Amino acid sequence: MRYPTPSSTKPSESSRATRHPSRSPKANAAPSKGIHARKHVLKTSKTRGASHYDPKPPCITVHGLPGYTGGLLPPDVVDPRPPALPLDGFECIRTLGDGAYGHVLLVRVRDQPNLGKLARPGSLFAVKVLSKERTKITHQKYPADTHAERMHLSALPWSPWVNGVIGVFKDELNLYLMLEFIPSGCFYDVIQTRGPFDAATARFYFANIVSGLYFLRGEGIIHRDLKPANILVRSDGYLAIADFGYARLDKIDNGPITDWLMIGTPLYMAPETLCYQHMTGFSVDWWAAGVTLYEMLTKRTPFFGTDENKIYKRVSSGKYKWPKGLRVSASLKSIVAGLLTTTAEDRLGIKGSVLDHPWLDNIDFDKLDAGNYMAPWIPEAPAPTQTWLNKGLPPPHHIPGLKICLPAVHREWDDRLPRKQLPNVADQLCTAGRMAQK
């Protein structure tokens, strides 16, 4: 069994007390938002560097046991922690969706004897199933993208702004990436069903995205595919960034410039990813954040086109219009214009801090990090273990290392009958008119 390295237990500047200043003895200090962001980036970067390159890690105490060095306990000390659950300690109860690299399943901790005190039977997690065969084929074409999500998420400390990884498993056919289960769906669905938002609602959600991006920036990670569909809504209404399949480390594995061309989703791609422009790394995420903010307010993207070529031309030009009749304040127009600047070096977030913009003056980011704001909308998602299955469970031989729990009869997925089509109102009116004439 592998034990955590001292970097995961060593006290650092990005500790819980720092993330929640209200619980810290230094809570009375009130630095400006810009200073807060810069300190977060500098302290986190310094901590990560020290934890990886310190040749002689100090002797610290873990679970009350002294002498923990080099990631291993002394041979005469028994580890008090229960062993980690194996893959067969979980059971698949639902299919959540299908992605480019495999299935996403909902799994539950099995109720079995000899479970540790920390194990909670019935706990739910999301699992990405990555086929080894498909992964090999993808690795030949895109070697940097094959294990990007697993590598970057495994190195991240826990944060409420990121859909974190729980563990990684494998069997003879697949790799299994276990993540936090966030049952309330993606932010794109919220925009489509509840949007467009007013300025106050958009400000709250955008502040969530900004906090997530600054956290990733402090860890040196560039998402490169930020969009509402890759942002999940937690049960408390706050947002969490997910899907790190295209992520890169800043200034470490940026690779050649060709590795950054045409990466992402066309409607949210920055101009520098469409041509040989100087790359600044984090600028692509700030551009996508600006597109998302515009979409919150208008329920459409600023550079929409009927085909990809038209989208690319509009993105390269950087020209967009606000809908007629929409009242938008000058400060809101200013922050959107700053984020949608076509030159990467001049974009807000690269040139100047997003947190210092006047449109965000009403947001206390320390209070936001502590979760002390009431979200504009609290999801009321039904329990996934009680609802009807809208997708079939995978065959057992496709996931040999994972148990499958069949649902009750009334919850089984059934595709024998075609989906009911809603009647066309216009056809009904025409039929009624003909009947009236007769």
User: Six-digit token pair at 51?
Assistant: 């934890």
How close are the terminal C-alpha atoms of the chain, in Å? 82
Query: Rounded to the nearest 10 degrees, how much is the dihedral formed by the CA atoms of 357, 33, 208, 376?
Result: -80
Centre a 10 Å sphere on the Cβ of residue 427 and count the other Cβ atoms it contains: 9
Of 109, 110, 116, 123, the C-alpha closest to 79 is: 116
Active site residues: 225
Measured CA to CA, the distance from residue 95 to residue 252 in angstroms comes to 36
Task: Answer yes or no: is 299 a known binding residue.
Answer: no
Place of tokens 């595919």: 225
Phi-psi region of 80 (alpha: psi -120 to 50; beta: other; left: phi over 0): alpha
Q: Which residues 6+ apart lie within 8 Å of 421 measured at CB?
A: none
| Cα separations in angstroms, 132 against 41, 138, 206, 382, 435 | 36, 10, 37, 34, 62
**Residue 144: Cβ-neighbour burial (10 angstroms; 0-12, 13-18, 19+):** middle
Number of C-beta neighbours around residue 283 at 10 A: 27
The pairs formed by 8-16 with CB atoms below 8 angstroms and a separation of 24 or more are 8/157, 9/60, 9/62, 9/68, 10/51, 10/57, 10/58, 10/60, 12/43, 12/47, 12/51, 13/43, 13/44, 13/46, 13/47, 14/40, 14/43, 14/44, 14/47, 14/157, 14/218
Peptide bond into 196 cis (omega under 30): yes
Which residue numbers belong to the known binding site for ATP? 128
